[in-house]
Structure 1
Amino acid sequence: MKKQHIPEKMCPVCERPFSWRKKWEKNWHEVKYCSEKCRRNK
């Protein structure tokens, strides 16, 4: 994936944008939180 075409989402907890990462390649549509900390504090 080219850097200029990296998708972003907004984290519902911290309300900050976060970008696609290689480790989320197969399940990007399921990713909701930017970090484990936000996921735990939902």
Structure 2
Amino acid sequence: MTKKQHLPTKVCPICKKPFLWRKKWEKNWDSVKYCSKRCSGNSKRRTLKA
């Protein structure tokens, strides 16, 4: 079992906060961009405004 301190991390492009790997993202970790559904929704609004 992997300890939490050794899990991969990414930085969310919307809120600029780091987030950790989650079990539910195991199969598609490479395609995960946002830390939450909220940030994902904000990215869609941001592209419409620009």
Larger Rg over CA atoms: 2
Higher helix share: 2
Unmatched runs of 5 consecutive residues or more in structure 2: 44-50
The TM-score normalised by the length of structure 1 is 0.93
Unaligned runs of at least 5 residues, structure 1: none
4+ long deviations beyond 2 Å: none
Structure 2 length as normaliser, TM-score? Answer: 0.79
Question: Which structure's relative contact order is higher, taking Cα pairs within 8 Å and 6+ residues apart?
Answer: 1
CA RMSD of aligned residues (A): 0.9
Percent identity reads 64
